[in-house]
């Protein structure tokens, strides 16, 4: 018994922490099936009307489409720029590489509100508020650090001597990049792209500043809906996103382990 | 189908390489004949790998010219030189199968699929790995990986094959097996081989000729036999094979030079090399250990008394380490006959002056 008590306590502590971490997310799910227009927990009644509202109300569904499109463009732009930057920094002989890396990563460290104010001020002058370009530019800025870090970590373990070997075998710099370097750092690039997508899809602070009634991303729509009234559609959106991300991560884990096993 | 091609000559003319203030290679000139197996031998930092990198095009030339056959390649990018390279660390592409690795240089040259498959198979057969074509490098042992690297480097019939300590990461047994294999492949291909190593035994076993590098310069180029029997510098004499070095004041007379070592006058063939101090280089097999008082015999006119400090029984021979009067010491290897001298016994070391070499003292020590 003496041995069992500490183990029991450890298990209990872990369980409590797990509940604490997951509960806020799970609470949203029952609320999304609420019968009445209130965000009370536990909800009373049952209905699918909030899901219906999300898919039929152009305010809601439109903002999802905007968010998805912006996030996709950001993922592509940030991945290309971030990957090139990471490779450039890795190959730099001088110490300036560390400095450039620090500068590239600042958007991750600077408080979002500070960045948002700066971006908003510039956008007012250049009339980028509420535009596609505005969203993509701002979100790419925020997403690049994630790509630089993910690709940089992969490059640190990449054996650059393989590129020398490729050259000796007749491959030009460009051919070497596409046949040797790229395939070997692809895991870093893909995880960087995923981070970039999520960063944009999830972004609310900067988006709140540069939004317009005509062009709203989903997080902005959720935020403004919450401040106006208690609309359980928010819970429906939350549940859908929760399901989608669980699915993506689950698939990623399955494929990830399968590839390692091969 | 035969893959045999004619090797090309390499002409290195007045090549130097500077890294800032550091001179990695200092005005080196060297010619490697077509089809020759040449080793670059030297301690680390001697410039041998730098020279190889300059030939391969991995490093930019500071001054001088490099010609491969009729072509000046000093400023041609590495991927256009058509030189095969085998690296110490194998450098196989981990995301490709063995077959894809070997096919890589052919693919870069735009060879058709059917022709490519045939060439890959032939190359893998040469290194006896045809049944491993569909494995990944991580599934092979170190020796197998290096064989794949060899197959990959020769599949495109380069007229020159460079090897940078290719067996450095392997254990002794495997090294010996692969040495024989490399020798056989060199014979079959007929390409020029340049082999970088710091292992003098490996260089002696493999090479037609050896270039001995030291401090960014070439000390001597020659066959293993020439380097062993007629070293031109003390560094070469000590780097190749075992030797004893005797230092003392010298005086040349006629075609002989006398050195006073610990009070005993010893002669060596030839006149003093340069103005500086001279040394006598003595190979262990040239020295005979004999009972004290035996004196000069059979032309062995250099006789020094000493004490046995170390004695090793090698089966066919005995190896003695003898401390001479005056502080110098000599290593001697003699055939086992009669009862050997024990440690501490007084002995005489004798040798024929013709079997020793007089060299300028360049400050080299055997500690490498």
> Confidence band (pLDDT; 50, 70, 90) for B368?
very low
Residue of B nearest to A186 (CA): B95
Residues B227 and B253 in one domain: no
Does residue B265 belong to any structural domain of this protein?
A: yes
- pLDDT of B3 strictly over 50: no
Does residue B2 belong to any structural domain of this protein?
A: no
Interface contacts A/B by beta carbons within 8 Å = 59
Does residue B1 belong to any structural domain of this protein?
A: no
CA distance B81 to chain A (A): 8
Does residue A114 belong to any structural domain of this protein?
A: yes
Average pLDDT score over chain B? 90
Residues B128 and B222 in one domain: yes
**Of all helices (H) and strands (E), which one includes residue B259?**
strand B256-261
Q: Residue A257, SS3?
A: helix
Which chain B residues are within 8 Å of A164, Cβ to Cβ? 58, 78, 87, 91
Considering only the beta carbons, identify the residue of B57, B94, B104 that sits closest to A169.
Answer: B104
- Residues B196, B202, B208, B213: is their CA dihedral positive or negative? positive
- The domain in which residue A153 lies consists of 49-261
The interaxial angle of helices A96-109 and A132-157, nearest 10 deg, is 130
Residues B221 and B350 in one domain: no
Does residue A26 belong to any structural domain of this protein?
A: no
Which tokens belong to A40?
Answer: 């009370």
Does residue A104 belong to any structural domain of this protein?
A: yes
Give dist(CA B71, CA B81) in Å, integer.
10
What CATH number is attached to the domain comprising B320? 2.40.50.100
Residue of B nearest to A169 (CA): B105
Q: What is the DSSP string of B11-61?
A: EEEEEEEEETTEEEEEEEEEEE-TT-EEEEE--TTSSHHHHHHHHHTSS--
- The domain in which residue B249 lies consists of 242-360
What CATH number is attached to the domain comprising A154? 1.10.3720.10
Which chain A residues are within 8 Å of B105, Cβ to Cβ? 169-170
Among B234, B253, B272, the domain-final residue is B234
Residues B195 and B310 in one domain: no
Residues B267 and B215 in one domain: no
Which of B102, B91, B94, B158 shows the shortest CA–CA distance to B125?
B102
Does residue B123 belong to any structural domain of this protein?
A: yes
Is the Cβ of B94 closer than 8 Å to some Cβ of chain A?
A: yes
> Confidence band (pLDDT; 50, 70, 90) for B366?
low
CA distance A172 to chain B (A): 6
Beta carbons of B108 and A159 less than 8 Å apart: no
Residues B76 and B46 in one domain: yes
Does residue A175 belong to any structural domain of this protein?
A: yes
Residues B74 and B163 in one domain: yes
Beta carbons of B105 and A167 less than 8 Å apart: no
CA distance A257 to chain B (A): 17
Does residue B366 belong to any structural domain of this protein?
A: no
Residues B214 and B87 in one domain: yes
Q: What is the pLDDT of residue A86?
A: 95
Does residue A10 belong to any structural domain of this protein?
A: no
Does residue A15 belong to any structural domain of this protein?
A: no
Which tokens belong to A153?
Answer: 């970590």
Does residue B3 belong to any structural domain of this protein?
A: no
What CATH number is attached to the domain comprising B83? 3.40.50.300
Is the Cβ of B241 closer than 8 Å to some Cβ of chain A?
A: no
pTM comes to 0.82
Beta carbons of B91 and A162 less than 8 Å apart: yes
Q: What is the pLDDT of residue A185?
A: 94
Judge whether B268 and B247 are in contact, CB under 8 Å.
no
Q: Going residue by residue through chain A, which has 262 residues, state the pLDDT in tens, using 9 for 90 and above.
A: 566 888 999 999 999 999 999 888 888 888 888 888 777 778 788 888 889 989 998 889 999 999 999 999 999 999 999 999 999 999 887 788 889 999 999 998 999 999 999 999 999 999 999 899 999 999 999 999 999 999 999 999 999 999 999 999 999 999 999 999 999 999 999 999 999 999 999 899 999 999 998 899 999 999 988 888 878 888 899 899 888 888 888 887 787 665 544 3
List Cα–Cα distances, B277 to A196, B242, B302, B361, in angstroms.
72, 22, 20, 6
Q: What is the pLDDT of residue A122?
A: 94
CA distance B91 to chain A (A): 5
User: pLDDT tens digit string along B253-278?
Assistant: 878 888 888 888 899 998 888 888 99
Among B188, B204, B234, the domain-final residue is B234
CA distance B200 to chain A (A): 26
Beta carbons of A169 and B91 less than 8 Å apart: no
Does residue B365 belong to any structural domain of this protein?
A: no
For tokens 């999304």, name the residue.
A32
Does residue B368 belong to any structural domain of this protein?
A: no
Per cent of chain B over pLDDT 70 is 97
Does residue A6 belong to any structural domain of this protein?
A: no
Which chain A residues are within 8 Å of B56, Cβ to Cβ? 168
Residue of B nearest to A185 (CA): B95
Residues B230 and B304 in one domain: no
How many domains in chain A?
Answer: 1
Beta carbons of B104 and A171 less than 8 Å apart: yes
Q: What is the pLDDT of residue B252?
A: 81
Which chain B residues are within 8 Å of A171, Cβ to Cβ? 79, 104, 108
Which chain B residues are within 8 Å of A170, Cβ to Cβ? 79-80, 82, 105, 108-109, 156
> Confidence band (pLDDT; 50, 70, 90) for B248?
confident
User: pLDDT tens digit string along A5-58?
Assistant: 889 999 999 999 999 998 888 888 888 888 887 777 787 888 888 899 899 988
Beta carbons of A168 and B94 less than 8 Å apart: no
Which chain A residues are within 8 Å of B91, Cβ to Cβ? 159, 161-162, 164-165
Pick among A159, A164, A165, A183 to test the B interface (most B CBs inside 10 A): A165
Among B234, B251, B283, the domain-final residue is B234
Strands of the sheet with B244-253, listed across from one edge:
B264-269, B256-261, B244-253, B278-282, B356-360
Residues B155 and B292 in one domain: no
Pick among A158, A167, A168, A182 to test the B interface (most B CBs inside 10 A): A168
Residues B139 and B285 in one domain: no
Does residue A36 belong to any structural domain of this protein?
A: no
Q: Give chain A's contact residues with B (Cβ, < 8 Å).
A: 159, 161-162, 164-173, 175-176, 179-180, 183-184
Which tokens belong to B142?
Answer: 């170190």
Q: What is the pLDDT of residue A97?
A: 86
Residues B160 and B263 in one domain: no
How many domains in chain B?
Answer: 2
Output phi, psi for B332, to 5 deg. Answer: -130, 140
């Amino acid at each position: 018994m003496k041995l069992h008590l500490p183990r029991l306590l450890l298990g209990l502590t872990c369980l409590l922490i797990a509940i604490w971490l997951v509960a806020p997310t799970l609470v949203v799910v029952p609320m999304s099936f609420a019968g009445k227009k209130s965000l009370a927990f536990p909800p009373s009644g049952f209905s699918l009307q909030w899901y219906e509202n999300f898919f039929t109300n152009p305010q809601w569904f439109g903002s999802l489409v905007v968010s998805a499109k912006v996030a996709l463009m950001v993922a592509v732009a940030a991945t290309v720029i971030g990957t090139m930057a990471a490779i450039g920094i890795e190959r730099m002989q001088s110490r300036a590489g560390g400095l450039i890396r620090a500068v590239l990563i600042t958007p991750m460290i600077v408080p979002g509100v500070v960045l948002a104010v700066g971006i908003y001020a510039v956008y007012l002058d250049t009339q980028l508020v509420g535009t596609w370009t505005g969203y993509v530019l701002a979100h790419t800025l925020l997403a690049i650090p994630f790509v630089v870090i993910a690709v940089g970590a992969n490059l640190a373990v990449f054996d650059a001597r393989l590129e020398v070997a490729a050259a000796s075998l007749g491959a030009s710099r460009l051919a070497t990049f596409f046949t040797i370097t790229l395939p070997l750092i692809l895991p870093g690039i893909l995880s960087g792209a995923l981070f970039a997508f999520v960063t944009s899809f999830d972004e609310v602070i900067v988006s709140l500043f540069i939004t317009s009634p005509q062009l709203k991303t989903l997080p902005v729509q959720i935020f403004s809906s919450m401040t106006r009234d208690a609309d359980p559609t928010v819970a429906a959106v939350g549940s859908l996103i929760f399901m989608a991300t669980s699915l993506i991560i689950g698939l990623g884990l399955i494929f990830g382990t399968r590839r390692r096993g091969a | 189908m035969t893959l045999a091609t004619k090797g090309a000559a390499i002409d290195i003319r007045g090549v130097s390489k500077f890294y800032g203030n550091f001179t990695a290679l200092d005005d080196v000139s060297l010619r490697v004949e077509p089809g020759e197996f040449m080793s670059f031998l030297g301690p680390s930092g001697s410039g041998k790998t730098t020279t190889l990198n300059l030939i391969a095009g991995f490093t930019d030339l500071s001054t001088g010219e490099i010609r491969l056959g009729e072509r000046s390649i000093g400023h041609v990018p590495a991927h256009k030189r058509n030189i095969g390279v085998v690296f110490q660390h194998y450098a196989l592409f981990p995301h490709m199968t063995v077959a894809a690795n070997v096919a890589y240089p052919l693919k870069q040259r735009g060879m058709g699929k059917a022709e490519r498959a045939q060439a890959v198979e032939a190359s893998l057969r040469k290194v006896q790995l045809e049944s491993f074509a569909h494995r990944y490098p991580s599934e092979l042992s170190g020796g197998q990986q290096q064989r794949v690297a060899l197959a990959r480097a020769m599949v495109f019939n380069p007229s020159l094959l460079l090897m940078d300590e290719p067996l450095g990461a392997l254990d002794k047994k495997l090294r010996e097996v692969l040495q024989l294999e490399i020798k056989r492949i060199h014979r079959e291909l007929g390409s020029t081989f340049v082999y970088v190593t710091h292992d003098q035994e490996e260089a002696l076993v493999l090479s037609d000729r050896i270039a001995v590098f030291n401090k960014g310069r070439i000390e001597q180029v020659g066959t293993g036999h020439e380097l062993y029997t007629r070293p031109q510098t003390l560094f070469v004499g000590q780097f190749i094979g075992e030797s004893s070095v005797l230092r003392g004041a010298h005086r040349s007379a006629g075609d002989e030079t006398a050195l006073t070592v610990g009070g005993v006058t010893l002669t060596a063939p030839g006149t003093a090399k340069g103005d500086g101090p001279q040394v006598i280089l003595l190979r262990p097999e040239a020295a005979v250990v004999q009972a004290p008082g035996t004196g000069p015999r059979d032309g062995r006119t250099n006789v020094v008394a000493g004490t046995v400090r170390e004695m090793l029984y090698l089966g066919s021979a005995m190896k003695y380490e003898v401390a001479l009067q005056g502080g110098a010491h000599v290593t001697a290897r003699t055939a086992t006959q009669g009862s050997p001298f024990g440690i501490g016994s007084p002995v005489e070391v004798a040798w024929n002056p013709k079997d020793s070499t007089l060299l300028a003292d360049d400050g080299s020590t055997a500690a490498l």
